[in-house]
Amino acid sequence: MEVQTILTNTTDTETVKRRLAFQKSFSQEHGGSWRRKSLIEDAKFETAANLEFDKQERKSRGGSISEEEEVFLTSQQNGDVISPIDKDALRRQYTILVSLKDGIASLSRVIRVFETSKVAIDHIESRKAEKVGCKHDVLIQCTGNKDTVTAVMNTIRQNNTIADIWCQNERLVSRQEMWFPRHISDLDNCTHIVTKFEPELDCDHPGFTDKEYRKRRKQIADIAFEYRYGQQIPRVQYADSEVQAWGHVYDRLKKLMPKYACQEYQNSFNLLEKEGLYSQNAIPQLEDVSNLLKRRTGFQLRPVSGLLSARDFLASLAFRVFQCTQYVRHPSKPDHSPEPDCIHELLGHVPMLADPIVAQFSQNLGLASLGASDSDIEKFATLYWFTIEFGICKQKGEHKAYGAGILSSYGELEHALSDKPEKRPFDPDKTAVQSYTDEDLQPLYFVAESFDDMMKKMKDYAAKIKRPYEVRYDPYTNSIVVLNDKAVLKTLADNIAQDTEQMTRAMAAI
């Protein structure tokens, strides 16, 4: 079925920069105490900060903000704590399907109804209509309050060029987080940075008083702000102090790997050295590492300017894309970094992504997150934290690290595999609701019976996430296919049948 995209979300680089700067100032005005609490607190802060930012942006352009948003903005601050969101007061996203009798020509009249009612259209797609007597079906994702959207639908129904108008389950159902990237290029829109631990904000950050470090870090972060899909990843000319920090961590970790790292990690790390990409003397460039991963597992790297929201980060994995920072932790504290930096990404995550089984597992996690609710994203991100970031498994009767947060920090590595922290058996249902801290060395780790056992349990947990549809990745078009249409399901069934026939012939030939 041919789908034509008429309007998609866009990302203005300068607006993104202004939004991030505003979030930082907003944090300072509210004491900064929201930060580093939990994912749900981060989400609440981001909602409040973004609404206030949008309010100021609209006013600067002579626009206005809705009454519901105004009520929300004036009632959310309670001391230093962002109070729980009153969902009934917020505008939400709805999905509406309009069937047109005379084709696209009447679409402008439909759009005019939305504009007049000040209901924001977020996304439009058209396709050939399946219903007899109609020429096109138009899918519209819009944002507004329930009463206004209902009025819009009633007005559209009165238009004699409209054969039918339908909303999910024949009624208005909120789909606040329905949008997700459908093509790998849509990751240009997944740039929601969570300000967790910043040198210009946190007095306990090792770079807080180092103006040169802060300037350098911003310079490198700006490279990621400008990056767009299809471009080569810009190369960074690292300073001697940055290379020295890398070399120091590299040397210490390499000595600890045989004793503490899981076998999957060691195998891939040795490969990266053999390929000439990894050494103590130079920080690998993301473009070079990305090209190797593409050949090995189909994964690729993408530069990012900071810590992404959990939803955006997980969505990237669905396309076999891993978002990487390029700046280096402050040289005064190389043993441990409570924030992502290129040492964490390259020494922690990349070796695991060079393993085909781990790569497929990571993509499956990303696919399971698409379209999931905020609550499920929070639990899923927490599971990711205690596994892919700080996971420990048993191998040959010994505890071994497979989490990137452990493997990229020699301080964390020695701490995690000692008797100091608490260790519990890995149980996804319990782990998903466990609180954690990212300020210092972890006080708690979850231990899987084996790496394979962890992946199986994570797969079973992901299968329980409720969504109104299933999705799959099309590697030929680098796009996500939503399995909610008979034609799409038939194509999938035909592909499975062909694969089954090929496997049968291959087995017969063995």
Q: Which residues are known to be catalytic?
A: 344, 349, 389, 408
Q: φ, ψ for residue 271 (rounded to 5)?
A: -65, -45
Tell me the two tokens of residue 291: 């090209």
Q: Amino acid letter at 99?
A: S
Q: Is the Cβ–Cβ distance between 384 and 290 less than 8 Å?
A: no
Q: End-to-end CA distance of the chain, in Å?
A: 39
- b/e map 10-37, b = 16+ CB within 10 Å: eeeeeebeebbebbbebbeebebebbee
Beta strands in 111-175 (DSSP E): 120-128, 136-144, 162-167
Put the strands of the sheet holding 92-100 in their side by side order. Answer: 3-7, 120-128, 136-144, 92-100, 162-167
- What one-character DSSP code corresponds to residue 387? I
CB atoms within 10 A of CB 2: 6
Q: Amino acid letter at 313?
A: F
Q: φ, ψ for residue 123 (rounded to 5)?
A: -160, 140
Q: Is the Cβ–Cβ distance between 369 and 314 less than 8 Å?
A: yes
Q: Is the Cβ–Cβ distance between 140 and 95 less than 8 Å?
A: yes
Question: Angle at Cα 53 formed by Cα 47 and Cα 55, nearest 5°?
Answer: 100
- What one-character DSSP code corresponds to residue 38? -
| 3 state DSSP class of 276 | coil
Q: Is the Cβ–Cβ distance between 198 and 205 less than 8 Å?
A: yes
